[in-house]
């Protein structure tokens, strides 16, 4: 049957309209199916990747400010795991305001540390801190943070050199500290201590089985004379009485990178690196005015953090070395980039309130104040809050 042309002109627009409606319905059905599929995928397979990663532009957790928080600290100086050198309240620090500051990233809030959750999530596993006394500072902080939330759990502490271990027996969780100030090996050859810039196998044997590894190094690379732990360095088969310390540190870190890439199964073991912890021996970096600079010799007497988001001091050369080396890792370690936020805490050091100092030394803060380590409770608790965030969120 032939449709009259007049009727065709009437039906054609109607046909096109119906086709558009059908296409729209199909698109909406397909789109809804995709959205539901994504929702179901997210529900069925929750991501174990931290939601507050440092490389996310939505919330760079290492950029922010310090804000007052009277609910802090999360534990007291009576925690049984604090060494005397970090226990400022026990050894006479008269102020406590420095304990009342919380790190606030610019665009988000960090999750509050939960020691019971830490134990439950790490059940049957081990965490090892490897490095110098700043790593030890962080290890003792973590021990106290966990213990404060789970005081009834049985613990077993074994302190040694180079390895100290704390076990939370009810959960099968072990957190330990392995002293390796340069990370690479130091061997004794013909009575001389040789810093092996190309060899880390001796130390590395103690690290292989940990489920989470957190490394640090830095401060000891600048020590000279009686404070350095070595007599000569060896690299590339040659011995050196000394060399540029930045170059030496970089060679050692590249040895560490090769060892991690070759020996650590990253599907099983998490690897973290604590950025360079700053010192506060030069008041000119934070004091305003000639009078303040003339009267202050170091961090002694500092009781409040710096305001703002940036520290006016110089960018640490050691931090540049760390940045460059981590970029070259096959599977880069997670950098706990605590340098800037710690630089703002000129108030957080033991100063003269360290159990390592005698009364005569405490009487001379210009010579003996410790402006390198950190009080516990104190700043390393924030390092561990960031560590906790990176592990679980």
Query: Which of 132, 185, 370, 381 does the annotation list as catalytic?
Result: 370
Cα–Cα distance for residue pair 287/306, rounded to 1 Å = 10
Please state the pTM of the whole predicted model. Answer: 0.84
Query: Which of 126, 133, 141, 372 does the annotation list as catalytic?
Result: 133
pLDDT of residue 52: 41
Is-catalytic flag, 381?
Answer: no
pLDDT of residue 204: 96
Is-catalytic flag, 133?
Answer: yes
Residue whose pair of structure tokens reads 């199964």 in the numeric block = 265
pLDDT tens track of the chain, all 393 residues?
Answer: 444 544 444 444 444 444 444 434 343 333 333 223 323 332 222 233 333 444 445 789 999 999 999 999 999 999 999 999 999 999 999 999 999 999 999 989 999 999 999 999 999 999 999 999 999 999 999 999 999 999 999 999 999 999 999 999 999 999 999 999 999 999 999 999 999 999 999 999 999 999 999 999 999 999 999 999 999 999 999 999 999 999 999 999 999 999 999 999 999 999 999 999 999 999 988 876 544 444 568 999 999 999 888 887 776 789 999 999 999 999 999 999 999 999 999 999 999 999 999 999 999 999 999 999 999 999 999 999 999 999 999
For residue 317, give both structure tokens: 């050369």
| Three-state secondary structure of 9-31 | HHHHHHHHHHHHHHHHHHHHHHH
Give the residues across from 325 on adjacent strands. Answer: none
Contacts of residues 53-56 at CB distance under 8 Å and 24 or more positions apart, as own/partner, are 53/390, 54/334, 54/335, 54/337
pLDDT of residue 288: 63
Is-catalytic flag, 9?
Answer: no
Closest CA to 297 of 371, 379, 222, 356: 371
Question: What are the boundaries of each domain within the chain?
Answer: 87-392
Q: How many CB atoms lie within 10 A of CB 240?
A: 13
For residue 50, give both structure tokens: 């931290």
| Three-state secondary structure of 127-157 | EEEEECHHHHHHHHHHHHHHHHHCCCCCEEE
Give the residues across from 110 on adjacent strands. Answer: none
Query: Which of 126, 372, 373, 381 does the annotation list as catalytic?
Result: 373
pLDDT of residue 19: 47
Q: Are 137 and 376 in contact (CB under 8 A)?
A: yes
């Amino acid at each position: 049957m032939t449709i009259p042309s007049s009727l065709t002109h009437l039906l054609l627009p109607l046909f096109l309209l119906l086709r558009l409606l059908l296409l729209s319905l199909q698109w909406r059905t397909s789109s809804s199916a995709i959205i539901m599929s994504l929702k179901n995928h997210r529900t069925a397979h929750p991501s174990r990747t931290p939601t507050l990663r440092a490389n996310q532009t939505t919330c760079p957790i290492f950029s922010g400010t310090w804000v007052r928080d009277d609910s802090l600290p999360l534990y007291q100086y009576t925690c049984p795991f604090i060494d005397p050198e970090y226990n400022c309240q026990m050894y006479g620090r008269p102020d406590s305001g420095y304990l009342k500051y919380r790190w606030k990233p610019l665009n988000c809030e960090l999750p509050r540390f939960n020691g019971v959750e830490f134990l439950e999530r790490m059940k049957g596993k081990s965490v090892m801190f490897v490095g110098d006394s700043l790593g030890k500072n962080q290890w003792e902080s973590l021990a106290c943070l966990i213990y404060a939330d789970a005081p009834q759990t049985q613990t077993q502490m074994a302190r040694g050199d180079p390895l100290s271990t704390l076990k939370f027996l009810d959960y099968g969780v072990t957190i330990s500290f392995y002293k390796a100030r340069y990370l690479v090996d130091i061997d004794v050859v013909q009575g001389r201590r040789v810093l092996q810039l190309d060899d880390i196998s001796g130390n590395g044997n103690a690290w292989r089985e940990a489920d989470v590894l957190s490394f640090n190094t830095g401060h000891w690379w600048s020590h000279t004379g009686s404070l350095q732990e070595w007599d000569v360095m060896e690299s590339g088969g040659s011995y050196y009485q000394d060399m540029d310390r930045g170059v030496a540190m970089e060679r050692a870190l590249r040895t560490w990178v090769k060892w991690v890439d070759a020996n650590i199964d990253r599907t099983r073991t998490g690897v973290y690196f604590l950025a360079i912890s700053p010192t506060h021996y030069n008041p000119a970096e934070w004091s305003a005015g000639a009078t303040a600079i003339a009267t202050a010799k170091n961090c002694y007497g500092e009781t409040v953090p710096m305001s703002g988001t940036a520290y006016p001091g110089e960018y640490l050369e050691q931090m540049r070395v760390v940045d460059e080396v981590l970029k070259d890792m096959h599977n880069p370690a997670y950098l706990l980039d605590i340098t800037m936020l710690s630089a703002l805490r000129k108030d957080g050091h033991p100063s003269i309130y360290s159990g390592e100092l005698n009364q005569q030394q405490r009487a001379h803060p210009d010579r003996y104040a410790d402006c390198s380590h950190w009080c516990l409770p104190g700043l390393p608790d924030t390092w561990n809050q960031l560590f906790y965030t990176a592990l679980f969120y």
